[in-house]
Structure 1
Amino acid sequence: MVIKDPQELFMRLLSEANNAEKQMTRALPKMARAAHNEKLVEAFQHHLEETQGQLERIEQAADSIPEIRIKRLKSHAMESLIQEGEELIDSTEKGPLRDAGLIAAAQKVEHFEIAAYGTLCELAGQLGHTKAKEILAETLKEEKSTDDKLNKLAKQDVNKRAG
């Protein structure tokens, strides 16, 4: 796909975000099973529910713009981040140390998603897609909140137990 204008860039980035969220719907249950700390398990399960809502919002954002159609594009960045998380799971025993690593892996994903949705919001605004910007801003807010929750869980509990 050759990108010729900001509208096509927006469509590509939205399509990549869609694929990234789909990849996360498969990764989060694995992360929850790999976690030892019950609060972390709950955080991953809660974020899975949010991610399913985020997928719906991506469709709503695309539907709000007649000339936008989500393409089948792979998010190689998300694929790599998930692979790193899987390698971490494979190289640690279940317990506090793995939990600390899982939080680190999850925060890498959150930071990627914050950057992706921040860019999408700005592009939507630049292109005059007010409704899409509002919809995507809700997801951006959720991603920031998830990052904050993971950070607090790491600082207040998990990292201390990891030793």
Structure 2
Amino acid sequence: MATTAKSATKKTTSRTTTERGKVKAKRNAAEELRELFVDGLKDIYWAEKALTKALPKMAKNATSQELASAIDEHLAVTEEQVARLEKVFALVGEKAVAKKCDAMDGLIKEGESIMEESEPGAVRDAGIIAAAQKVEHYEIATYGTLVAWAKTIGEQEAAEQLHMTLEEEKEADMTLTEKAYNTINFDAAEADGTEEE
């Protein structure tokens, strides 16, 4: 009998709490995914803005004029990507806010350390390309995920904008691969061989 009274009291308390509006309904998966999507936008927004400061340093430290030009061209594309992200924020009804991206911060610091620790020349250029490709691969993974999430939560226009950036990042990665494979890595290997003689 005591158990029944206790059970009845629990039900009454639970109902009263609900009636007063103190108990929130559990969030659904769609709301959580949207929140994750917006956090991802804030993260990559910070990353792209940080790159607009890091890329000029990379171009300045590149020995190969071809590599410096490729980095400068990508800087212009990155600035457009920042503006595109601001458009995406507006499309999904959010304020464009940057949230520090620890991954990009680490990749940029790694690139800076490569430039500080290597002598100007082909080896440094090879290191700059490697650092830039790590950045591109991170961006490709991030934008690919954001495109998928945008589609899932019904933000088709945002998905299209993000997909444009994804394709630009893939193109930048291919350009860096060509630069590395066609000349710079071979020049670096020859420079290394010369030093040993």
TM-score by shorter chain over 0.5: yes
Q: Partner of 2:99 in structure 1?
A: 73
How much has 1:70 moved relative to structure 2?
3.1
Q: Is the 8 A contact 1:11 1:69 kept in 2?
A: no
Q: Is the 8 A contact 2:146 2:159 kept in 1?
A: yes
Equivalenced residues, count: 160
Q: Partner of 1:56 in structure 2?
A: 83
Q: Is the 8 A contact 1:117 1:139 kept in 2?
A: yes
Q: Is the 8 A contact 1:12 1:71 kept in 2?
A: no
The answer to whether structure 1 residue 136 and structure 2 residue 144 are counterparts is no
How much has 1:62 moved relative to structure 2?
1.1
In the alignment, the residues of structure 2 paired with residue 78 and residue 23 of structure 1 have an alpha-carbon distance, to the nearest angstrom, of 8
**Unmatched 5+ residue regions in structure 1?**
none
Structure 1 runs (4+) greater than 4 angstroms displaced: none
**Unmatched 5+ residue regions in structure 2?**
1-30, 190-197
Q: Is the 8 A contact 1:11 1:70 kept in 2?
A: no
Q: Is the 8 A contact 1:65 1:129 kept in 2?
A: yes
Deviations 1:7-60 (A, max 9, x none): 110100000000000110000000000000011000110000000000011011
**Identical-residue share of aligned pairs (%):** 43
Provide TM-score, normalisation by structure 2: 0.79
In the alignment, the residues of structure 1 paired with residue 171 and residue 155 of structure 2 have an alpha-carbon distance, to the nearest angstrom, of 24
The answer to whether structure 1 residue 12 and structure 2 residue 32 are counterparts is no
Q: Is the 8 A contact 1:19 1:74 kept in 2?
A: yes
Q: Whose RCO is larger (CA < 8 A, sep 6+)?
A: 1
The answer to whether structure 1 residue 150 and structure 2 residue 176 are counterparts is yes
The answer to whether structure 1 residue 93 and structure 2 residue 119 are counterparts is yes
